[in-house]
Amino acid sequence: MDPHSSGPEIGAKRRHYTAKLAAAGFSETGRDIPIARLVAIADKAGKAAEVARSGAEWILNSYLGARHRPVMQGSFTPAGVDPIRRYLDEVILHGTPDKVGDEILRLREEIGLDYLLCAPLSHQTFMLLTEKVLPRLS
């Protein structure tokens, strides 16, 4: 499940997948269903937001190019929605280790997240994820 969708969008995709499996006579029991999330973690929420913003800008410029972003924006966000703001508000998990851990636990409850693929947006994110977030999730 893609790293460019919001939690609710991924939840809908997961329910659709489960329904299609059931319609074909299969179950998701015993299957790994990876869900990818972009992650920015820092000791201070403001620093994590800076890392998340930088990551969102890089992603959008990589996919769309700064010159084409206004034209192709509709493929990433609804009309009139700033794609950077959408990534910050709905897509990237960012904040302190406690906040990100809480968000992952919320996704576990709300959408059945049980296999997380993390794309850390900084070295510090990777370190804090492995040292402070993951231990509390096991």
Give the pLDDT confidence of 22-74 residue by residue, as tens digits. Answer: 999 999 888 888 999 999 999 999 999 999 999 999 988 887 776 655 544 55
Residue 80 region by backbone torsions, left for phi larger than 0, else alpha for psi between -120 and 50, else beta: left
Spell 85-95 as b/e; 16+ CB within 10 A means b: ebbbeebbbbb
In percent, how much of the chain has pLDDT > 90? 65
Cβ 112 vs Cβ 64: under 8 Å: no
**Continuous segment of H or E residues that includes residue 116:** strand 116-120
Q: What is the pLDDT of residue 1?
A: 76
Least confident segment among 15-19, 52-56, 82-86, 88-92? 82-86
Cβ 104 vs Cβ 93: under 8 Å: yes
Cβ 100 vs Cβ 111: under 8 Å: no
